[in-house]
Chain A
Amino acid sequence: MSSLQLIKSNKQNFYYFLYLGLFLFSISILDVTLNAFLKINITAFLPNILSIFLPLIIGFIGLNFIRTEYSGIKSLDLINKNINTNNFNSILTLLIIFALIKATPPSLSWMIFDANISGDSKEACTGTGACWTYVKVWLRRFMYGMYPNDLHWRINLAFILVIALGFFGFFLRNNLKKYLALYYVIIYPIIAFLVIYYLISGGSFGLVWVETGAWGGLSLTFIVSFFCLIFCFPLGMVLALGRRSSLPMIRYISIGYIEFWRGVPLITVLFMSSVMFPMFLPEDFFMDKLVRVIIAITLFEGAYCAEVIRGGLQALPRGQYDAAKSLGMGYWKMHIFVILPQALKLVIPGICNTFLALVKDTPLIFVVGLAELAGMLALAKTNPKWLGFAMEGYVFAAIIFWIICYAMSKYSYNLEAKYKTER
């Protein structure tokens, strides 16, 4: 196909070919655009099959005419180099452009022009497009679940406090920086737990008790993934060290643990936490559903975390171990002061990816009856007053999750690039 040669331009008639090619190319785009936006078919007089393929053929000939090795015109060379290197590429280029043009009007009219957002009942949705009223009315439920409306400030305040405490480490004085790891690994999780427990659960300091069954929506996604992350990190660290230990029993137990949790799907782990776990606890010991779920996900993600940290440990050159040992350091001293600080820096992007996977996995907790965002959507969908708006809900949730996950993955790419150059 790439050897197919139409009449080619030479130096003398180069500009004729250039203008003719550009003209044909623009006609093909114009035809498709008119067809898509205004429903006008300017080639309707032709036989049906020809009328469909005509823009492709005209555009193909046009692109073929303007293709040259080097012309000296900057924008033309840019086009030729990027979208018009050979016949096959030019056809694919045209197909992608046409598909984009064709897809724009229906999606735009569904999402914006024919959509409704005013009003607060189903009757307000009269257009043929999306009914954003549905999302607007249910927004608080999607965000906070069944949490009482007038207490939402408690969730907001708790999140703001937790995030603020997270940034606390940046403002520490230099002579306190050596306690940073201690703060993040031990003190911060405890403070965060207390903040979330006393603010969101309530029950003391004059705050009304809200049971965990009422928690839900996107805030529950954050709570679950936040706790699982901070708890699974120390667990993963212990397991990673255990897997690289020279003591056989410890190594085998770590390997067995990691391979077991990595081999089973999360949904069965959640089933286990809801039906099997209560059997294993003493009779009069009651554990909240949410706590059981967080423990289950932590045990599960701990195994993945361990593998990521092990990668960091293995990436350190042997010389670091030898140097630490030659200074007379023991196992714990060597790991705490030499190995772990370097290895953990290496694995931050990997941990970020684990956290990303964790956030994407949290919707699964609906199998044990906790309704976070996807679970709330399923509830709202079956509400008799609001039947038939599943699409809007899922598009909304998809956009929210996409923004969160995309931002996180970009951040982890950046971190990866940053640490790559330093070593």
Chain B
Amino acid sequence: MNNKIKKILPQIITVLFVLGIFGFFTFNAQINMDNRGIDFGFGFLNQESSFDVQFSLIEYSGSHSYARAYLVGLLNTLLVSFISIIFCTILGVVIGVARLSSNFLIRNSAAWYVEFFRNIPLLLQIFFWYYAALRALPLPEKAEPWFGVTYMTIKGYYIPAFIWNNLDIFLYSILAVVISIILITTYAKKVQDNQGKQIPVFLISLGLIFIIPGLTFLIGGVTLDFGIPVLKKLSKTSYIYEGGIGLPPELIALVLALSLYTSTFVAECVRAGIQGISKGQKEAAASVGLTPNQILKLVVMPQALRIIIPPTTNQYLNLTKNSSLAAAIAYPDLVLVFAGTALMQTGKAIEIVSITMLTYLSISLAIAAIMNWYNKKIEIKEK
């Protein structure tokens, strides 16, 4: 009996304490909102937003609703995170491998790269790229072309636009290629398990990737044109490029800072993963006659990835959360568009801040859930 009370009493007290805090906050919020004449509710999401966003992936103007503005911000956040994740992975893997190089200079340059970019606050890096480095770029009319068709200017990076005809047929063909490659891989594995024969899966897949989408250009009626950016005079002193896609400098600064900063953490994960494989594994693989490439592909990488992937996903998550610093340089991401402009206009502080936090929270929890599932799947199954 005594034991039972000892177990239940602390729980009841904690729950009451938490409920009390929540109750106190709600009570105050009610009074405060009554006094200021604000009512609680999410009805504002359908109202006309009447503010403009300078960069958006979907069609958006002031006449759209707040819900649409939220979507614009979310997509911009996901866009910058996606691009930065790609770049930081490439950089991180290269630097991580370089830190294990036998070459003294490469090893130390990589180490200094990591120490340098890791120890400067991310916000400062974003400010540096945006306010200092990108401001030194030429004006549109003075820009020299890069690779002939792209222009890096103070107003952004202009790249050719892709103009597709019958894009859907092209996409279907890619889908078909992916499905057939999966089928071939499973078939090849079956053949190898049963008969020991090896089918050159890689070559076949490579052929399929080029041939089938290529065929759609010949017989499917798919065409691809490039809209090349052309300089256009707006007024006496102001020029602009038209016809291409303009990536705003905010996006470029953000991608640069995020990928350089996060790549240092990814590099450390990669290094830890490769160092985590004991030397005996490589020697054992070599002694059964595997070639260096096979050792890397069949023995080292599968084990190293098991160590590398979970912390790296964590870094991707951090990158996505850090992309909210975009608000500091006015890149229209979720925080700036929704928790900034929309909040200023509607004054619905509680609703908007909770929606913003819940959005990030659900991204984090979703990725964490996938990671847990993945970890369960790849963990070493001991008999």
Contact = CB atoms under 8 A, between A and B. Distances in A.
B119 A406 contact: yes
B43 interface: no
B86 interface: no
Contacts of B350: 276, 279
A267 B343 contact: no
Interface in A346-372: 359-364, 366-367
Contact of B128 (A89, A283, A398): A398
Nearest to A81: B102
A265 B128 CA distance: 21
A92 B365 CA distance: 42
A92 B132 contact: no
Interface string A80-101: 0011010001001100110000
Interface string B21-39: 0001100110111010000
Given A97-B105, A391-B132, A268 B365 contact: no
A268 B343 contact: no
Contacts of B128: 391, 394-395, 398
Contacts of B122: 360
B127 A377 contact: yes
Given A92-B103, A264-B361, A272-B357, A363 B123 contact: yes
A378 interface: yes
Contact of A83 (B7, B32, B105): B105
Interface stretch (B137-145, B194-202, B317-325): B317-325
Contacts of B115: 406, 409
A97 B363 CA distance: 44
A253 B127 contact: no
B360 interface: yes
A374 B325 CA distance: 13
Contact of A394 (B24, B106, B124, B328): B124
Contact of B356 (A89, A268, A363): A268
Nearest to B130: A390
Contacts, number: 157
A363 B329 CA distance: 14
Given A263-B361, A367-B328, A402-B116, A276 B103 contact: no
B18 interface: yes
Given A253-B15, A402-B119, A263 B360 contact: yes
Given A259-B365, A390-B131, A250 B10 contact: yes
Given A96-B109, A406-B115, A267 B335 contact: yes
Interface centre among B116, B121, B353, B363 (most CB of A within 10 A): B121
A244 interface: no
Interface centre among A97, A263, A378 (most CB of B within 10 A): A263
B104 A82 contact: yes
Contacts of A269: 357
B28 A281 contact: yes
B349 interface: yes
B251 interface: no
Contacts of A253: 14-15, 18
B52 to A, nearest CB: 22
B95 to A, nearest CB: 13
Contacts of B206: none
Given A96-B109, A250-B11, A394-B131, A265 B343 contact: no
B103 A83 contact: yes
Interface in B331-367: 335, 339, 343, 349-350, 353-354, 356-357, 360-361, 363-365
B214 to A, nearest CB: 31
Nearest to A251: B11
B135 interface: yes
Contact of B357 (A268, A279, A282, A361): A268
Given A89-B103, A283-B31, A381 B356 contact: no
Nearest to B119: A405
Contacts of B364: 262-264
Interface centre among B24, B25, B122, B353 (most CB of A within 10 A): B353
B11 A247 contact: yes
A363 B124 contact: yes
Contacts of B322: 265
A118 to B, nearest CB: 23
B228 interface: no
A271 interface: yes
Contacts of B335: 265, 267-268, 271
Contact of B353 (A259, A262, A272): A272
Contact of A279 (B28, B121, B124): B28
Nearest to B361: A263
B365 A263 contact: yes
Given A85-B102, A402-B119, A268 B14 contact: no
A248 B7 CA distance: 10
A184 interface: no
A260 interface: yes
A32 to B, nearest CB: 15
Contact of A363 (B14, B33, B118, B121): B121
A248 B8 CA distance: 10
Contact of B120 (A263, A280, A362, A401): A401
Contacts of A271: 335, 339, 343, 353, 356
B327 interface: yes
Given A82-B103, A89-B103, A283-B35, A374 B124 contact: yes
A275 B340 CA distance: 11
Interface in B261-311: none
Contacts of A379: none
Nearest to B367: A263
A249 B16 CA distance: 11
Nearest to B105: A96
Given A263-B361, A271-B335, A272-B357, A409 B119 contact: yes
Nearest to A366: B328
A415 interface: no
A397 interface: yes
Interface in B95-116: 101-106, 109, 115-116
25 contacts: A82-B102, A82-B105, A89-B102, A96-B106, A248-B11, A253-B14, A263-B365, A264-B361, A265-B321, A265-B360, A267-B335, A269-B357, A271-B353, A276-B349, A279-B350, A282-B28, A363-B121, A390-B131, A391-B133, A391-B136, A394-B124, A398-B120, A398-B128, A405-B118, A406-B119
Interface of B: 7, 10-11, 14-15, 18, 24-25, 28-29, 31-33, 35, 101-106, 109, 115-116, 118-125, 127-128, 131-133, 135-136, 321-322, 324-325, 327-328, 335, 339, 343, 349-350, 353-354, 356-357, 360-361, 363-365, 368
Interface of A: 82-83, 85, 89, 92-93, 96-97, 247-250, 253, 259-260, 262-269, 271-272, 275-276, 278-283, 359-364, 366-367, 374, 377-378, 381, 390-391, 394-395, 397-398, 401-402, 405-406, 409
Given A275-B343, A280-B24, A374-B123, 6 more contacts: A263-B363, A268-B324, A268-B339, A268-B356, A271-B343, A398-B128
